[in-house]
A and B are shown apart, each in its own frame.
Chain A
Amino acid sequence: MTPDASSYLIISAILFTLGTVGVLVRRDPLIIFMCIELMLNSVNLTFVAFSHYLSSADGLIFVFMIMTVAAAEVVVGLALIVSIFRTREDIDVDQLDEMHG
């Protein structure tokens, strides 16, 4: 017997929370970015679990879409980070505070 669907859901929730916390506490944009990826993938896990549990293909298709989109985001995100890196020596997200108020 496969594990209960709820186990997958709990794991994915934990992963999602981890990712969220990571975004909030880390200052390196790359790490933050990876944490977001973690969140997306935890959602993927949820989709897969539901898909399996419901015997529905929709969830699986959704997972592929998320993966594709995540890849695209990596491209754009890294490009932005590189572009910023060109003008600044170190990249700490907390230094990006020119605009506020």
Chain B
Amino acid sequence: MSSVWFILLLPLFGFLVLSVGSPLPKRAVAVLGPGVVGVAFTAAIVMFFWDYGRHGVTRDAVAYTWIVSGHFVVNFGALIDPLATVMCLIVTGVGFLILLYSVGYMSEDVDFRRFFCYMDLFVFAMLVLVLSDSYLFLLVGWAGVGLTSYLLIGFWYERPAAVAAARQALVVNVIGDWGMMVALFILFLHFHTLQYVPIFKHVPAVLGYDGSTVRIVTLLLLVGAVAKSAQLPLHVWLPNAMEGPTPVSALIHAATMVTAGVYLIARSYPLFHSAPFTQSVVIIIGTCGAFFAATCALANNDIKRVLAYSTMSQIAYMFVGVGAASYASGIFHLTTHAYFKACLFMGAGAVMHALHDNVDIRRMGGLKATMPVTFWCFLIATMAISGVPLLSGFFSKDEIVGSVYLQAQHVGWLWIIWIMLALTAGLTALYMFRLLFMVFLGQERDPELALHAHDPPLVMRLPMMILAVLAVIGGYLAFPGAPNWIGNWLRHSFERFSPVAPAEPATQWASVIIVILTVALGIFAAYRIYYQRRPAPEQVGATAPAIYRLFLNRWYVDGLYDRAVVRPIIVLGLFLSTVVERFVINGLVEGSAAALRDSSRDMRRVQSGYVRNYALSILLGAVLVVGYYVFRR
């Protein structure tokens, strides 16, 4: 039991020490920063095996009572179940690797300490998020990771682009927090608690099946999930978030934080399970997001942004998975995605390191020769994400597409979803291999830039290679046909509160084959266009310039938000401050004062100074007074 507190407090300890320890030498920071996460990872493994031996027993450990106000009682506690354990392992494990990588990546930065300080804080917040036993502390962690995301996107605060991106990320994330908060209020209203267990136990009894309340709650939770996971329509911040250091992109904006939305839906599955409408919404959002992000990735020329869109696209797959009630497959894809996407970002980071922080893929090319290790890792990860058979992405993605295929047998419109997912799988292969070809193969486009290109040092190489290995073997946790290990493990979580346990679907071979075919097609197309240049990419773009521009400009969503939301609010603020505040609210106050002064000035004229006028006034007064008595009686 104490191990969970150990896991939780270690990163916090690291954060605290680093935040106040300005005289710490760089070496100490380099040990302490990743070290605490590494130890936490070890503790998580211990916890995992401890629980694994007991077949995933669920434990709810309450640390202390946070607040008591009437019947509003909230405890701070940890819920340790398979889902939390898996998340905990990913966060600490992948986190440790990325922190290790950062030691190399950030070694030149003057704010070395600050970086690890934020990163440790992030790990802490993420652990609070996944370990919490109540929605309230889920929200605490939720906002905590949003905060650290903000801090790390804006890490290089002297760059205006980074500052703007950080601001955008924060505000969009808070929109999600709002949805979560309101959802929490509704849950509290009906359940008088915010702890998971009592809520989940009574969902059908209190809210019923597909009632409007549960629909609203889940939709509001979905707002939070969508904002955090950068899904449509709150996705705009994620590509911009690439302004942060690359390890940040790897850890926060690929492996862990952005997948918190998936975790939320999976965690709240008793609620979502009672709200089929919301599940449909999740599927639709996921599918559209997957396709949308893939198209954007196709046209983008920024190595990190391509990866960002691919992240968005893959998380969209996870959404489809959890939306299709195939929670384990969603989490499975989350796990494998963490490996290969972190690996991809590390590769991208290595490339940027080699090319003096250049991110434009049009100026890259032929790096395979100078950076072989990076190339091979990148290649493995690219194949994994594209769904090349026998690599991890293949298994996890196919499980999701397969479950949609299975359900489409009963629900007609899911066929459209399935087709789009399969298509997107092909697109994924296309844009990922486009990236690979343009960066590592072909000839050098900017020889000057790549003059001193070389593989990164060991401290960066090692994590990359480990992740590449994981990207290969991670999928065997659920080998088709073999016992679905991860599904069985997670079932302890996902059967606990649901009367109708969602069965893990058997492998759908038809779906698998079609997806393999589209992927192959995608890779082939990428090979033709970007490696052989027959047809050249420019020609392809010229065939449909409007569509190309649409993809290049991200479907014009960013500009639309700026004009439709941001500017109107600013204009409203200006209007309020220049007109309403000045003339209405202040005007009433100061206007009445001015009116009094004016009337005072006017009344002074009556006081003429002539004594006979004064006497007249006395007489008039007397007449009035006497008249009052005489006539009123």
Contact = CB atoms under 8 A, between A and B. Distances in A.
In the complex they form, whether A and B have CB atoms below 8 Å apart is answered with yes
Interface of A: 20, 23-25, 27, 93-94, 96-101
A27 B612 CA distance: 8
Interface string B594-633: 0000000000110111111001100100000000000000
B267 to A, nearest CB: 79
Nearest to A96: B611
Contact of A98 (B604, B609, B615, B616): B609
A20 B619 CA distance: 8
A99 B612 contact: no
A101 B607 contact: yes
A50 to B, nearest CB: 19
A17 to B, nearest CB: 10
B611 to A, nearest CB: 5
A32 to B, nearest CB: 8
Contacts of B612: 23-25, 27, 93-94
A23 B609 contact: no
29 contacts: A20-B619, A23-B612, A23-B615, A24-B612, A24-B615, A24-B616, A24-B619, A25-B612, A27-B612, A93-B610, A93-B611, A93-B612, A94-B610, A94-B611, A94-B612, A96-B609, A96-B611, A97-B608, A97-B609, A97-B610, A98-B609, A99-B609, A100-B608, A100-B609, A100-B610, A101-B604, A101-B605, A101-B607, A101-B609
A26 to B, nearest CB: 8
B597 to A, nearest CB: 14
Contacts of B609: 96-101
Nearest to A97: B609
Contacts of B608: 97, 100
Contacts of B610: 93-94, 97, 100
A101 B612 CA distance: 15
Interface of B is mostly: helix
A20 B610 CA distance: 16
A20 B615 CA distance: 9
Contacts of A96: 609, 611
A93 B615 CA distance: 12
Nearest to B611: A93
Given A23-B615, A24-B615, A93-B611, 20 more contacts: A24-B612, A24-B619, A25-B612, A93-B610, A93-B612, A94-B610, A94-B611, A94-B612, A96-B609, A96-B611, A97-B608, A97-B610, A98-B609, A99-B609, A100-B607, A100-B610, A101-B604, A101-B605, A101-B607, A101-B609
A23 B617 CA distance: 12
Contacts of A25: 612
Contacts of B615: 23-24
Name which of B604, B607, B615 has the most chain A CB atoms within 10 A of its CB: B615
The 6 A-B residue pairs with the shortest CB-CB distance in the complex, in nearest-first order:
A100-B609, A97-B609, A101-B604, A93-B611, A23-B615, A101-B607
A20 B612 CA distance: 11
A24 B607 CA distance: 16
Nearest to A100: B609
A12 to B, nearest CB: 16
A62 to B, nearest CB: 21
Contacts of A24: 612, 615-616, 619
A25 B615 CA distance: 10
B621 to A, nearest CB: 13
A97 B607 CA distance: 10
Contacts of A98: 609
Nearest to A23: B615
A98 B616 CA distance: 19
Interface string B573-606: 0000000000000000000000000000000110
B616 to A, nearest CB: 6
Nearest to B608: A100
Nearest to A93: B611
A97 B615 CA distance: 14
Contacts of A93: 610-612
A94 to B, nearest CB: 5
Nearest to A25: B612
B613 to A, nearest CB: 9
A17 B604 CA distance: 29
Nearest to A27: B612
